[in-house]
Amino acid sequence: MIELRNVTLKYGEKLVLDKVSLAVQDNTIKAVLGPSGVGKSTILKLMLGLIKPNSGQVFVDGLDITSMKEADLYPIRRKMGIVFQGNALFDSMTISQNLSFFLRENLRLPEDEIGRRVAEQIRFAGLEGYEDQLPESLSGGMRKRVAIGRALIFNPKMILFDEPTAGLDPVSSKKILNLIASLKKSNDLGAAFVTHIIDDVFAIADHVAVLYQGKIIFDGETEKLHESDHPFIRSILSDKILEL
């Protein structure tokens, strides 16, 4: 459903992605694993059309979005929910208001439909009783669940996560990973997440691409990662480095 084809991306003179090709299929969980600063968040921005590649193409549902105008990108972005690393919640709004904001502002849905969708996400994210609280009064894991609920509220076909478990304690991490895995089963949704935590990949990803020094050095089924003979992958597997 989302594909980067031969994408090269530079910030100024700095080459970050060097002819990267990568696809995320419907109804699968794909991870992009790589060390800090390798270009993981950059890949998500390219998928959303927030930045343009220097060369190569980006496709969403078969449509080439590489040179699309901002106005044409809105309906495309609505097919993809995004959960940012820092959640990007509105601090001064309650949990309900955070969830309803874009429905009201962007879709201008009737209030009863907004209420129905907010209640659905509150239930799914296990946030009953917290509707009128501010984000600051919630734990990190709960704030992450609000961000996931907000990403799901447009009924996307695909949800993208930037480091979904970064900064969370092990129990909260596991809950978030279970929630991501359950999206595929119960909502028929595809998910892509970028991470530097190998355990998260083995926990839930069907497919993984490994990004290292600007290039994809592995792309395939997660269990096949063990068969790779690339020195970087061998070292992360044999040294049992859990976080790159």
Chain residues in the site for Mg ion (CB under 5 A)? 40-41
- Closer of 35 and 126 to ligand ATP (Cβ): 35
Site for ligand ATP contains 41 (CB under 6 A): yes
- Closer of 38 and 118 to Mg ion (Cβ): 38
The residue whose two tokens read 């946030």 is: 127
- From the CB of 228, what's the least distance to ligand ATP, in Å? 20
- Closer of 36 and 186 to ligand ATP (Cβ): 36
In the list 5, 8, 10, 16, the residue contacting ligand ATP (rule: CB under 6 A) is 16
- Closer of 35 and 126 to Mg ion (Cβ): 35
Residues 132-171 that bind ligand ATP (CB under 6 A): none
CA-CA-CA-CA torsion sign (135, 136, 140, 142) = negative
Determine the size of the site formed for ligand ATP (CB under 6 A). Answer: 11
Rounded Cα–Cα distance for residues 74 and 102 (Å): 13
Site for ligand ATP contains 173 (CB under 6 A): no
- Closer of 21 and 133 to ligand ATP (Cβ): 21
- Which of Mg ion, ligand ATP, none does residue 207 bind to, with CB < 5 to 8 Å depending on kind? none
In the list 6, 26, 37, 116, the residue contacting ligand ATP (rule: CB under 6 A) is 37
Site for ligand ATP contains 39 (CB under 6 A): yes
In the list 196, 201, 207, 233, the residue contacting ligand ATP (rule: CB under 6 A) is 196
- From the CB of 70, what's the least distance to ligand ATP, in Å? 18
Q: Nearest to residue 63, comparing CAs of 83, 79, 43, 51?
A: 79
In the list 7, 20, 29, 38, the residue contacting ligand ATP (rule: CB under 6 A) is 38
- From the CB of 174, what's the least distance to ligand ATP, in Å? 21
Q: Are strands 190-195 and 207-212 parallel, antiparallel or unpaired?
A: unpaired
Residues in contact with ligand ATP by CB under 6 A are: 11, 16, 34, 36-42, 196
